[in-house]
A and B are shown apart, each in its own frame.
Chain A
């Protein structure tokens, strides 16, 4: 038997197989939908828990990243698995995550609102420039804030080194924090409130960075002192699932 014989054998042995294509496609789509839904349900469950015990908010855009300067701790596995990929793939991806940035940020701060607009149904404003919400950008850091549907949104990418690893944030109540693994990425989901303004934050550890997005339920005043106007919605308008999709995107980085 040579290569040609083997090819002929494989072709001949399988050419009359008659799979039920309807069954395969419907089954695959159903499993795929279920996985997308499961991801949303997992994160939505966090929201429900958080509404019971919502407490003080994180600071603007950098709540997680500026958390006390706990230096030198390495991130590692040991998270509950909630992956939509195979466990092996997810575990490998988690294991492969570097401690320091392994690639530059390629998106420009001014383009971040457009990226949010691509997945959000309402109007996204331009970057805010005041004392409190100043856009910053370098090869390994990006900070930008803007308004979405009349509420403040902050987005931050910064090196993970020097910050708490995700699993050490698990169970905190200020803000209410849950850590999990989604598609091989460590994900912290936080819900906080301060002065009557609630916020939802999702932070993802990816490529040696922490990528964070925070949605508030109010508009900032523009005074540059971090103050907010009255809340305009019942809850931060960008849900956890959407924040997760944005923060876990590869679109921010060079591939």
Chain B
């Protein structure tokens, strides 16, 4: 089969974007293995999209990957349970953190554990990726008002967790 997109184009994009996608995936899932799976799943979809020969080229592969990552995460969560239940799996991240960094990470994990999957997605898109409210709404198929409400609710819950 002929492929219109050289393999290097995908490789170049994936290498450049994987660290950021991983950060977002880790914030969403809270687990290293799940984050890795989520990033690989996202990159697989980007790969397929980039190798569709007659599809128009992606104007913004980073944005496409970001939306794909978030929707893949939400879809996977919905398949596991029809109800939004906050979860707080213990992390298994291996890093070279200093003591302060380790504390910051534990604080973050605890704060995020209070959030539902959709609220986590809102937080990641709004505050890690700096995505505008309207765009977050489109990505998550929510109304802009719902995104704002969820943002406020998430902030309140995280604030409550971190000030205990």
Contact = CB atoms under 8 A, between A and B. Distances in A.
Interface of A: 1-3, 6-7, 9-21, 23-25, 27-36, 40, 84-89, 115, 118-119, 121, 241-242, 245-246, 249-251, 255
B44 A32 contact: yes
B127 interface: yes
A88 B75 contact: yes
A92 to B, nearest CB: 10
15 contacts: A6-B127, A9-B158, A13-B104, A14-B23, A14-B105, A17-B22, A24-B18, A27-B44, A28-B41, A28-B47, A86-B45, A88-B71, A119-B54, A121-B2, A250-B55
B159 A1 contact: yes
Contacts of A20: 36
A247 B15 CA distance: 32
Interface string B18-34: 11011100110000000
Contacts, number: 165
A158 B21 CA distance: 41
Interface on chain B toward A: helix, strand, loop, or mixed SS? helix
Interface of B: 1-2, 4, 7, 10-11, 14-15, 18-19, 21-23, 26-27, 35-36, 39-48, 51-56, 71-72, 75, 78-79, 93, 95-97, 101, 104-105, 107-109, 111, 123-124, 127-128, 155, 158-159, 162-163
A30 B71 CA distance: 21
Contact of A27 (B43, B48, B95, B127): B43
B11 A25 contact: yes
B1 to A, nearest CB: 7
Contacts of B44: 27-32, 34-35
A36 B5 CA distance: 14
A183 B124 CA distance: 28
Given A16-B97, A17-B23, A24 B158 contact: no
Contact of B36 (A14, A24, A241): A24
Contacts of B35: 19
Contacts of B54: 115, 118-119, 245-246, 249-251
A7 B124 CA distance: 9
Given A10-B108, A29-B10, A115-B54, A89 B75 contact: yes
